[in-house]
A and B are shown apart, each in its own frame.
Chain A
Amino acid sequence: MEQGYVIEVKDVTKKFKVYYDKGSQLKERLLFRSRNRYEERWVLNGISFKVKQGEAIGLVGHNGCGKSTTLKLLTKIIYPDSGTIEMKGRVSSLLELGAGFHPDMSGRENIYTNASIFGLTKKEIDERMEDIIAFSELEEFLDNPVRTYSSGMYMRLAFSVAINVDADILLIDEILAVGDANFQAKCFDKLMEIKKQGTTIVIVSHALNQIEQICDRSIWIQDGKILAEGSPRDVHPQYLEFMGALRQEVADKEKGRQEAKEKVQESEKERKRWGNRFAEITEVTLKNESGEPQSVFSTGESFWIELKYTVHQTVEDAVFGFGIFRNDGVQCYGTNTRIDQTPEFDLTESGSARYHLEHINFLPGKYLIDVTIELGDGIPVDYYREVATLEVYSVVRDAGVARIPHQWEFLGNTWEGKEDSGNDRDNAAN
């Protein structure tokens, strides 16, 4: 291994045997040969990466992409089918917290057992005892059996042991979901502290912002291969874009299924729809700027709501409208042609309409769209609830309901300096 590196993974592949119906007894093995059929599933198809001493890297990817398998290989719980993995120094893993806890033994005894599984000697455990207890905040319960602990207390104790091992390499799988918000914050601070001390850290997480805060580098694994690698701020937007596209596919499939289901449940559908049906909405589609159907958008994008309708009877002074609700029921926006004071007209012929929605600044989430046709005096002609769904994703992690366009201005010397350099950049670009 090169100087300064502590982890080297070279061309690692891994497959799992998925048995259709496995027998591990002699009788089953001999009598039901056919049951021993299995499928080989390749989880990793040649992964190579190196990690420097003191570096923190994050593994990202969607479920089942092979990132947790990679972590398991690093801990030596499982072994690769080909390729090599080299590691230098003591490895501690926060994969499964509380392994080997004995419910009947006291918290203190369990600290000893659990820490010994990480390869600590009694002396080393004694040295860390105070830190472990203090970190867990469980002083008063330490002599009670662990079975009397709440699950949160249990995890806190387990985490405290694992994090106080003083490993050279720390492997973490989705752990920052331990305990309440305070404890999570504490864990996070502790991780940063450990990192400062020069511990090498490998994290698997779906919480990209955590990875961005801790890690120097992100590795994006997709279908058992490394798709991109680099600074988290470069890799994550690519990853999110990809996941957005993926969700669109899923949404399309979902829609297909939904339609099939809705045909059967016509009566239930009626509850989402009311009005005198002088005219009827027949189809509602969300389309992107270039006119293609799309239901997943990034915050700030614009789109079209397109609808077709059939007229059975003249609708006098027709009013068209729409409403957007977040899937938890919050109305985010709604308007109609009367509110917007468009010229009055009577609806006599079937046709279509489309509304352009500019820069929908909703933050990520699922939104449902209602579309309506009413008479001028407010009597519903066809009020169609939740006729379309809209999903919004974002690479920016601002919080709330909607993004408010904003600028930052700082008054003072520093601001002047920044403005100058900004102008310089613009000039250079020109």
Chain B
Amino acid sequence: MKTLKELYAYRQMIFSLVKKELRGRYKGSALGFLWTFINPLLQMAVYGLVFSFLLGSDIPKYYLHLFVALVPWLFFSASLTGGSVSVIASKDMVKKIYFPREIMPISYVTSAFVNMALCFLVIFAVMLLGGTVPPEGEQFQITSLLYLPIIMLVEYVLALGGALLTSALTVYFRDLEHILGILTMAWMYLTPILYSVDLVKNQLIAHGMEHLYWLYCLNPMTPITIAFRDIMYYGQAPHLNTLVNAAVLGLVFLVFGYAVFRKLQKGFAEEL
């Protein structure tokens, strides 16, 4: 509670750091802020070409199927890997002056979040131009978009928990930064981003292991990805189960990440 109050008092600092991060990222490049949009578009083009033409995926409008999951994933992985160095990167400040240390991971995750929100503008454009894929006999329900802020918030909570954890641990253990690169790559393939979650279900059934599906759902990014896809690819409200699954895992992550951060942050100034 006390921390929340303090963070509220320091809101201007978070605000200006986010601004600095967003403005500074593409500073000096010719296209500048446009890269925020170009980057995911190009990624979508590459993955889309490889999977629908070379590998011949039978998922209709594969590019959209991929894109609605890839953008949230990029936010999450950026929070983990980029967030992990957020405290180290500002070590001069941490060593010299007091402010709630949580601000560093918070502002990094927030700037990545704003980035994701901007990419959604591109998704909306693609949805409008290319159309969506509602299940048979169903219509695209515009009201399902109301769930979008909810699931975005859930993912924010999850990403923040992850960033708090990695940023604190990396101070004591620098290798983590590089380990995380590999880890997030593996994690991406464990999440139904390039493929559909039905593929996993079918494979499990084929091997008679469908009772193990809950294990797959322990990956907090699984329910989140499913929800994003429900909303923007199928145009349907996500299942309550999916939402609860995502929210619970997100909160667990946040509480755990915060507890670790609290414990470790006292030694930051001495360790850096």
Contacts and interface: CB of A to CB of B under 8 A. Distances in A.
A24 B267 CA distance: 14
Contacts of A112: 12, 16
B173 A26 contact: yes
A96 B97 contact: yes
A267 interface: no
A27 B93 CA distance: 28
A93 interface: yes
Contact of B97 (A95, A121, A125): A95
Contacts of A91: 98
B117 interface: no
A75 B174 CA distance: 27
Nearest to A27: B175
A330 B247 CA distance: 80
Contacts of A115: 12
Given A16-B270, A25-B174, A77-B269, A96 B13 contact: no
Contact of B175 (A16, A25, A100, A119): A25
Question: Residue among B96, B98, B267 with the most chain A CB within 10 A?
Answer: B98
Interface residues of A, number: 29
Contact of B16 (A16, A79, A113): A113
A75 B12 CA distance: 20
Nearest to B27: A104
A121 B10 CA distance: 7
Contact of B93 (A93, A117, A120, A121): A117
Contacts of B10: 116, 119
B96 A95 contact: yes
B92 A117 contact: no
Interface in B18-77: 20
A102 interface: yes
Contacts of B187: none
A95 B269 CA distance: 14
Contacts of A121: 9, 11-12
B99 interface: yes
B239 interface: no
Contact of A119 (B13, B16, B20, B172): B13
Contact of A79 (B93, B99, B266): B266
A24 B20 contact: no
Chief secondary structure at chain B's binding surface: helix
A264 to B, nearest CB: 43
B20 A125 contact: no
A122 B20 contact: no
B124 interface: no
A24 B172 contact: yes
Contacts of B6: 119
B213 interface: no
Contact of A78 (B9, B90, B173, B270): B270
Contacts of A125: 12
A146 to B, nearest CB: 14
B201 interface: no
Given A102-B20, A112-B16, A119-B10, A77 B175 contact: no
B20 A77 contact: no
B230 to A, nearest CB: 39
Contact of A76 (B96, B98, B270): B98
For the complex of A and B, list the 8 residue pairs with the smallest distance between their C-beta atoms, beginning with the closest. A96-B96, A116-B12, A116-B13, A79-B266, A26-B175, A99-B97, A75-B98, A99-B96
Interface of B: 6, 9-13, 15-16, 20, 90, 92-99, 172-175, 266-267, 269-270
23 contacts: A17-B270, A24-B172, A24-B173, A25-B175, A26-B173, A26-B175, A72-B269, A77-B269, A78-B269, A78-B270, A79-B267, A93-B97, A93-B98, A95-B97, A100-B93, A112-B16, A116-B16, A117-B13, A117-B97, A117-B99, A119-B6, A119-B12, A120-B12
Given A25-B174, A119-B10, 15 more contacts: A16-B270, A75-B97, A77-B95, A78-B266, A79-B267, A93-B97, A93-B98, A96-B97, A99-B93, A100-B93, A116-B10, A116-B12, A116-B13, A119-B13, A122-B15
